[in-house]
């Protein structure tokens, strides 16, 4: 049994342990990766042209080749990433070892570890019952504990309101931030996802981790069941076998729609089943982002 | 529809189970908090109408399963007649025609007629209360049935009292009569229920089918329900004795007869070693075996020698089959008695062939003849005690004395037979004087048509011209046999006086010569008979004695004069027909008794004959005379119509086509036939419903 499967992770108490375990798994996988970090690093030489900054002249190259070369770098600035974790009541649903919220907080914790480790700023915005608990992005090592504590105490309650979250982030986030949304996206309002995706238009780098429980994907119910709405008073008594086909079609269409809209808005989309290995999820995510870059 | 196990129908209450489950099922569904409720709601809304239909179908299928299983276990039997009754639009006046023909006696355990009565009772039971009905028991001479009514008990009694006949049934006529009777009912619907074995002989398919007057007066076809009592049988096998001829077998003795009978096999299988018996009472006189191919005919002859004379009644029987009535044929046979004849030779001669009695003696005592002849010359013969003889023949005898004439008269009056032939020694005047009371006609004189010795004697000799072949004496001499009679040449013969109308009894001339002179005259005298032959019985006056007809004619003279030769016409009686009896003047008929002991109606006719019957059953009918004494000579046997033994059945499709496909509503049969296996269809339906229910559930 791997340390990183959902069953094992569920036995690790607290986000800190789970996030660290996932982060370790990610790091062990990265050494084979072509991904070479995101900080200020040398990228290539360029022949000097008038107007280039003289401080970037490579004198050693001049000594060797008797020509002026200018050093060029990948990123000139630090990365600011904010993880938006949906802690609505529906995120508390679990059919297996971990709830969607537990998976979301674990992923957010692991990402925080990775960001802080390479001295990028990591922040958090926790959506709880229509309110927001923000942890501003910082790159210090001590800030990691603050982030993990906030994730540790997250509990699922209240309705999903992605639209408000998007508005809130638009207000508080500086431009060109990286926004990582971890949510089940179960917001019935049509414009909610649209407003989240609109963050991309504000020069933000947006990524969506769409969390889905296996039961939501396969609808494995047999006996007559009274389904209770986790975010409202709704309830309905149905024979699941009778509506299974229809439900799977509806839910499949929803997933396809979300994926298509994300692709259209140039937003990274990652479907996350709560029963899969989270390090695989992160590696997949990082790999895709590396290819994009 | 009837049920073999009606108690299982209670199980049909189980059909309420799905309804009760639906009404009282209070199982609480498991609550389950679920995130994507919107999708559940949307799915539920999307499938609601389909689910409603599915639930309805499931409810119907489950109810069907729970209904079909107990119905199947109850073993329902589809009775098409009931169906027919229900397919009629509104009530219908009904006539039930029950076939009572001989073929309905066919039995392989239970006679078809018994099954037919059950069918008729069922048909009555199936009637709606508002349907008037009548019953017609169909025989060969059907009478119109009673007007349709509602007295079911009376109709049931009619069915209960019905008996099968020994004759055919004219079903076509019965249907016509029933159709006419149904017209008396004001109801628009008319129904004919035919209960029969549907044998071909019962229908006249060449005649138009029955019709009734419709509401507008135009003829319309009534509904016809066919209840085939023999439909469980592929074919009604039957063999029958269809013909019997009884002829004297003289080569085997004077009282020997050959019984030649014809056996026909109407079935599809050959019959081997079929036992055939000639029986009289309980005694078996002859026995044989016959093989009859399928659909074929075989003739067999058995010879029986009867120990004594008299009228014998018996039967030829075959080993019985399913229709035993036609395996037997009765006969009534006059067996000649042993006769003792006194031949009084008036002109004996040392040379045998010139002796007057030579040819007569040879003829009477030939092999097979029942006559024992004693030849005496005139002097001795006329002194004999005549009472020891049945017959006295006076051949060219001079006129007897007064005493002898009185003896002869007494002999004849007491029932004796007297034959007188002419010759040179006969004195007409003496004969007329002494035997005038006995002679059929008085003798006149001798006429010579040709001298025997003349060369043209053969051409001039006279011959017999007119012979009464209808008389029993000359009955065999027809066709080529007549040649031997008319070929004889007569050179000389005695002329007779004209008949004396005042004479008691009168005479009858049975044969004449070419000139019209009588050759043979007969008369009844008291209880006896006298025959007068006007020529000689040797070769003196004719060559008749050397003709082939002489021997049989002399034997028939002997039989006739002694009363052994029955003068009655052979009575050929067939069941269903009337019989005419023609008794002698001395015989009286007071009653005729059928084989079952019942007396038949007797109707005297102006010509002193009697019409009996019609006879209703095969067998020997006994005729009773004065003081209820049997008259065996008038007994007769009745036989079946061979056509009724042919049990070939009309195919149902032929009958349907005949009556009209739109009018033949149903065809049912006996209860032994497995009914339409409705329960298997019910089980199949339940299985199909079960399969569909499972399929629906999985969807």
At which residue do the structure tokens 């089980």 appear?
Answer: B683
Three-state secondary structure along B526-543?
A: CCEEEEEECCCCCCCCEC
Query: What is the spatial distance between Cα B490 and Cα B286, in angstroms, rounded to a whole number?
Result: 46
Give the separation between CA B130 and CA B70, rounded to whole angstroms.
Answer: 32
Q: Judge whether B44 is closer than 8 Å to chain A, CB to CB.
A: yes
Kindly determine whether residue A186 and residue B38, on different chains, have CB atoms separated by under 8 Å: yes
Report DSSP state, residue A209: E
Q: Are B266 and B646 in contact (CB under 8 A)?
A: yes
Query: For chain B, what's the residue count?
Result: 699
Contact residues, chain B, for A226 at CB < 8 Å = 28-32
Residue B43 touches chain A, beta carbons under 8 Å: yes
CB contacts of A238 in chain B (<8 Å) are 40, 44
First to last CA, chain B: 38
- What is the rounded end-to-end Cα distance, in angstroms, of chain A? 34
Residue B602 in contact with residue B625, Cβ under 8 Å?
A: no
Q: How many CB atoms lie within 10 A of CB B140?
A: 21
**Would you give the DSSP letter of residue B109?**
S
- CA–CA separation, B696 and B62 (whole Å): 12
pLDDT at position B158: 92
What Cα–Cα distance (Å) separates residue B664 from each residue in B217, B653, B677? 22, 10, 22
Are residues B124 and B152 in contact, defined by beta-carbon separation less than 8 angstroms?
yes
A223 interaction partners in chain B (CB closer than 8 Å): 29-30
How far is Cα B357 from Cα B538, in angstroms, rounded to an integer? 7
- SS3 at position B664: strand
CA distance A85 to chain B (A): 17
Query: Nearest CB to A227: which of B28, B32, B46?
Result: B32
Domain assignments of chain B as residue spans, ordered by start:
2-29+46-78+679-698, 83-235+651-674, 256-320, 340-561, 573-639
Please give the backbone phi and psi of residue A14, each rounded to the nearest 5 degrees, phi first.
90, 150
**Any B CB within 8 A of A48 CB:** no
A237 touching B (Cβ < 8 Å)? yes
| Residues 84 through 123 of chain A touching chain B, CB cutoff 8 Å | 90-91, 93, 100
Q: Answer whether B51 sits within 8 Å of A251, measured CB to CB.
A: no
Looking at the partner chain, which of B29, B34, B44 has a beta carbon nearest the beta carbon of A230? B34
DSSP letter at B107 equals: B
b (16+ CB within 10 A) / e for A29-42: ebeeeeeeebeeee
Cross-strand partners of A132: A127
Which residues, 6+ apart, have CB-to-CB distance to B674 below 8 Å? none
- Contact criterion met (CB < 8 Å) for B35 and A254: no
> Rounded to an integer, what distance in angstroms lies between the CA atom of residue B614 and that of residue B429?
54
- Indicate whether B84 pLDDT > 60: no
SS (H, E, C) B166-215: CCCCCHHHHHHHHHHHHCCCCCCEEEEEEEECCEHHHCCCCCCCCCEECC
B330: Cβ–Cβ under 8 A, 6 or more apart, which residues?
Answer: B313, B314, B315, B595, B618, B619, B620, B637, B638, B639
| CB-CB contact of B502 with B468 (8 Å) | no
Among A4-13, A95-104, B343-352, B364-373, the range scoring the smallest mean pLDDT is: A4-13
Which of A2-16, B47-61, B293-307, B529-543 has the weakest average pLDDT? A2-16
Nearest to A246 among B28, B36, B46 (CB): B46
pLDDT-above-90 percentage for chain B: 34
A154-158, B253-257, B568-572: which has the highest mean pLDDT?
A154-158
**CATH class (in words) of the domain with range B573-639:** mainly beta
Question: Residue B609 burial by CB count (10 A; 0-12/13-18/19+): exposed, middle or buried?
Answer: middle
Contact A221 B36 (CB under 8 A): no
pLDDT (0 to 100) of residue B500: 64
Q: B182: which strand partners?
A: none
Rg (CA), chain B: 41
Which two tokens mark A240?
A: 């699941």
Which contiguous run of DSSP H or E holds residue B300?
strand B297-305
Phi and psi at residue B181, to the nearest 5°: -65, -35
Instruction: Compute, in degrees rounded to 10, the torsion defined by CA atoms A26, A29, A30, A34.
Output: -140
Cα distances (Å, whole numbers) of residue B428 to A267, B348, B530: 165, 20, 17
Closest partner residue to B34 among A224, A228, A250, by Cβ? A228
Helix axes A15-30, A141-152, angle to 10 degrees: 130
Rounded CA separation B386/B407 (Å): 8
**Residue B362 near residue B332 (C-beta atoms within 8 A):** no
Residue carrying structure tokens 């009858």: B508
Q: What's the maximum distance between 2 C-alpha atoms anywhere in chain A?
A: 83
pLDDT band at B85 (very low <50, low <70, confident <90, very high): very low
Alpha-carbon gap: B654 to the closest alpha carbon of chain A (Å) = 57
Rounded Cα distance, B89 and B59, in Å: 34
* Residue entry with tokens 């401080």: A55
B325: nearest Cα among B598, B575, B519? B575
What is the three-class DSSP state of B30? strand
Residues B207/B648, Cβ–Cβ less than 8 Å: no
Chain segment B169-197, per-residue pLDDT in tens? 889 899 999 999 998 888 888 899 999 99
Query: Domain B83-235+651-674: which topology?
Result: Rossmann fold (3.40.50)
Closest by Cα among B210, B201, B94 to B660: B210
Q: Give yes or no for A254 touching B (CB within 8 A).
A: yes
Interface check B29 vs A, CB under 8 A: yes
- Reported confidence tier of residue B362, pLDDT bands at 50, 70, 90: very high
- Tell me the average pLDDT across B6-11: 84
CA distance B477 to B462: 19
CA triplet B391, B508, B526: central angle to 5 degrees? 50
- Picking from B534, B507, B506, the residue whose alpha carbon sits closest to that of residue B520 is B534
Residue B614 preceded by cis peptide, ω within 30: yes
- pLDDT-derived band of residue B570, with 50, 70 and 90 as boundaries? low
* Choice between B585 and B287, residue whose per-residue pLDDT is larger: B287
Whether A256 and chain B come into contact, CB under 8 Å, resolves to: no
pLDDT confidence of residue A35:
38
Q: Are B104 and B111 in contact (CB under 8 A)?
A: yes
pLDDT at position A132: 85
Domains B83-235+651-674 and B573-639 alike in fold: no
Contact (CB, 8 A) for B70 and B14: yes
CA distance B670 to B381: 78
Buried b (16+ CB within 10 A) or exposed e, B395-404: bbbbbbeeeb
Q: Cβ separation of A247 and B39 shorter than 8 Å?
A: yes
Whose tokens are 């002849």? That residue is B373
Q: Domain B340-561: which topology?
A: Rossmann fold (3.40.50)
Contacts of B42 in chain A (CB under 8 A): 246, 250
For CA atoms A107, A109, A110, A115, give the dihedral sign. positive
Overall average pLDDT of the B102-128 stretch: 90
Contact B47 A243 (CB under 8 A): yes
Nearest to B176 by CA among B138, B214, B121: B138
Whether A247 sits inside 8 A of B32 (CB atoms) is no
CA distance B123 to A5: 83
CA distance B476 to B483: 12
Would an 8 Å CB–CB cutoff place B157 in contact with chain A?
A: no
**Stronger pLDDT, B509 or B570, i.e. the higher one:** B509
A80-86 and A121-128 strand pairing = parallel
- Which residues 165-184 on chain A approach chain B with CB closer than 8 angstroms? 184
- B491: pLDDT strictly greater than 70: yes
Domains detected in chain A: 6-34+78-292 (3.40.50.410), 42-73 (no CATH)
pLDDT for res A39: 42
pLDDT by residue, tens only, chain A of 293 residues? 344 566 666 665 666 666 667 777 666 655 443 333 344 456 678 888 888 778 888 888 889 888 888 887 654 446 788 999 999 999 999 988 889 999 999 999 888 888 888 778 889 999 887 788 888 888 887 888 888 888 888 888 888 888 888 888 888 877 678 889 999 988 877 788 888 888 888 788 889 999 999 999 999 998 888 999 888 888 888 888 888 989 999 999 999 999 999 999 889 899 999 998 888 888 888 888 777 65
Q: What is the pLDDT of residue A212?
A: 94
State the Cα–Cα distance between residues B524 and B507, nearest whole angstrom: 7
Q: Report phi then psi at A37, rounded to 5.
A: 85, 165
What's the DSSP call for residue B599?
A: B
- Nearest CA of chain A to the CA of B38: how many Å? 8
Strand order in the sheet with B391-395: B371-377, B339-345, B391-395, B417-421, B528-533, B518-525, B507-513, B464-467
- What ipTM was predicted for this assembly? 0.79
Among A92, A186, A223, A247, pick the best mutation site for testing chain B contact (most B Cβ within 10 A): A247
pLDDT score at B344: 94
Spatial CA neighbour of A15 closest among A124, A142, A103: A103
Q: Give the mean pLDDT of B123-141.
A: 90
Give chain A positions within 8 Å (CB) of B38.
Answer: 186, 188
Q: State the nearest Cα–Cα gap between B33 and chain A, in angstroms.
A: 4
What the block records as the tokens of B437 is 């009371």
Q: What is the DSSP letter of A168?
A: H
Closest CA to B230 of B659, B697, B560, B652: B652
CA distance B31 to chain A (A): 4
């Amino acid at each position: 049994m791997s340390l990183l499967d959902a069953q094992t992770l569920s036995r690790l108490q607290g986000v800190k342990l789970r996030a660290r375990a996932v982060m370790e798994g990610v790091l062990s996988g990265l050494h084979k990766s072509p991904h070479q970090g995101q900080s200020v690093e040398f990228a290539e030489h360029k022949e000097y042209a008038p107007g280039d900054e003289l401080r970037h002249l490579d004198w050693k190259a001049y000594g060797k080749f008797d020509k002026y070369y200018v050093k060029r770098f990948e990123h000139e600035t630090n990365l600011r990433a904010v993880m938006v974790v949906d802690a609505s009541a529906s995120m508390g649903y679990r059919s297996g070892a971990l709830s969607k919220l537990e998976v979301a907080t674990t992923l957010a914790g692991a990402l925080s570890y990775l960001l802080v480790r390479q001295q990028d700023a990591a922040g958090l915005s926790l959506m709880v019952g229509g309110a927001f608990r923000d942890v501003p992005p910082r790159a210090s090592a001590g800030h990691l504990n603050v982030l993990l504590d906030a994730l540790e105490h997250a509990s699922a309650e209240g309705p999903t309101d992605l639209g408000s979250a998007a508005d809130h982030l638009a207000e508080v986030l500086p431009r060109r931030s990286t926004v990582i949304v971890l949510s089940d996206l179960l917001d019935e309002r049509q414009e909610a996802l649209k407003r989240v995706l609109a963050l991309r238009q504000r020069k933000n780098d947006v990524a969506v981790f769409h969390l889905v429980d296996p039961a939501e994907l396969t609808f494995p119910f047999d006996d007559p069941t009274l389904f209770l709405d986790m975010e409202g008073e709704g309830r309905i008594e149905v024979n699941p076998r009778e509506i299974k086909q229809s439900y799977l079609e509806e839910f499949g269409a929803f997933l396809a729609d979300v994926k298509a809209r994300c692709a259209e808005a140039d937003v990274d989309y990652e479907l996350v089943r709560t029963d899969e290995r989270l390090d695989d999820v992160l590696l997949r995510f990082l790999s895709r982002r590396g290819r994009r870059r | 529809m009837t049920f073999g196990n009606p108690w299982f129908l209670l199980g049909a209450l189980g059909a309420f189970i799905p309804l009760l489950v639906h009404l009282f099922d209070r199982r609480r569904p498991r609550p389950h908090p679920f995130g994507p409720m919107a999708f559940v709601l949307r799915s539920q809304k999307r499938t609601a109408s389909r689910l409603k239909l599915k639930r309805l179908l499931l409810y119907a299928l489950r109810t069907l399963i729970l209904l079909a299983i107990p119905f199947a276990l109850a073993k329902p039997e589809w009775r098409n007649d009931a169906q027919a009754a229900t397919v009629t639009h509104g009530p219908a006046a009904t006539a039930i025609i029950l076939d009572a023909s001989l073929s309905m006696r066919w039995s392989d355990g239970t006679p078809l007629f018994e099954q037919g009565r059950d069918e008729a009772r069922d048909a009555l039971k199936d009637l709606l209360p508002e349907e008037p009905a009548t019953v017609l028991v169909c025989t060969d001479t059907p009478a119109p049935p009673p007007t349709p009514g509602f007295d079911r008990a009376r109709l049931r009694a009619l069915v209960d009292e019905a008996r099968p006949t020994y004759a055919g049934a004219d079903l076509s006529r019965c249907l016509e009569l029933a159709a006419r009777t149904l017209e008396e009912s004001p109801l628009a619907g008319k129904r004919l229920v035919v209960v029969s074995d549907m044998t071909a002989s019962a229908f006249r398919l060449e005649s138009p089918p029955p019709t009734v007057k419709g509401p507008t007066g135009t003829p319309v076809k009534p509904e016809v329900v066919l209840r085939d009592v023999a439909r469980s049988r592929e074919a009604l096998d039957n063999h029958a004795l269809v013909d019997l001829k009884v002829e004297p077998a003289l080569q085997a003795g004077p009282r020997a007869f050959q019984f030649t009978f014809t056996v026909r096999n109407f079935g599809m299988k050959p019959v081997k070693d079929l036992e055939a018996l000639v029986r009289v009472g309980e005694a078996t006189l002859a026995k044989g075996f016959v093989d009859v191919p399928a659909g074929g005919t075989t003739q067999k002859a058995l010879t029986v020698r009867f120990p004594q004379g008299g009228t014998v009644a018996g039967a030829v029987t075959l080993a019985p089959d399913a229709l035993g009535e036609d395996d037997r044929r009765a006969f009534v046979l006059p067996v000649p008695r042993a006769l003792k004849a006194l031949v009084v030779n008036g002109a004996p001669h040392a040379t045998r062939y010139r002796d007057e009695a030579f040819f007569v003696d040879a003829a009477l005592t030939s092999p097979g003849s029942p006559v024992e002849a004693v030849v005496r010359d005139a002097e001795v013969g006329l002194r004999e005690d005549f009472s020891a003889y049945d017959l006295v023949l006076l051949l060219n005898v001079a006129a007897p004395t007064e005493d002898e004439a009185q003896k002869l008269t007494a002999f004849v009056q007491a029932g004796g037979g007297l034959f007188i032939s002419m010759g040179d020694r006969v004195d007409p005047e003496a004969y007329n004087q002494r035997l005038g009371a006995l002679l059929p006609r008085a003798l006149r004189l001798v006429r010579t048509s040709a001298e025997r010795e003349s060369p043209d004697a053969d051409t001039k000799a006279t011959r017999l011209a007119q012979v009464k072949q209808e008389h029993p004496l000359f009955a065999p001499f027809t066709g080529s046999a007549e040649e031997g009679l008319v070929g004889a040449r007569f050179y000389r013969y005695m002329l007779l006086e004209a008949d004396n109308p005042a004479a008691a009894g009168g005479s009858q001339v049975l044969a004449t010569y070419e000139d019209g002179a009588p050759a043979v005259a007969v008369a009844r005298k008291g209880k006896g008979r006298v025959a007068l032959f006007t020529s000689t019985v040797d070769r003196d006056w004719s060559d008749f004695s050397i003709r082939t007809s002489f021997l049989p004619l002399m034997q028939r003279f002997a039989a006739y004069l002694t009363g052994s030769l029955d003068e009655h016409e052979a009575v050929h009686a067939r069941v269903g027909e009337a019989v005419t009896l023609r008794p002698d003047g001395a015989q009286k008929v007071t009653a005729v008794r059928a084989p079952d002991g019942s007396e038949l109606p007797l109707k005297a006719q102006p010509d002193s004959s009697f019409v009996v019957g019609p006879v209703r059953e095969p067998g020997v009918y006994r005729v009773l005379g004065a003081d209820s004494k049997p008259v065996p000579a008038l007994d007769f046997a009745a036989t079946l119509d061979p056509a009724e033994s042919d049990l070939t059945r009309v195919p149902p499709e032929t009958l349907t086509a005949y009556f009209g496909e739109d009018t033949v509503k149903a065809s049912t049969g006996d209860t032994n036939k497995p009914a339409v296996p409705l329960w298997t269809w019910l089980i199949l339906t339940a299985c199909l419903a079960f399969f569909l229910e499972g399929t629906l559930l999985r969807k």
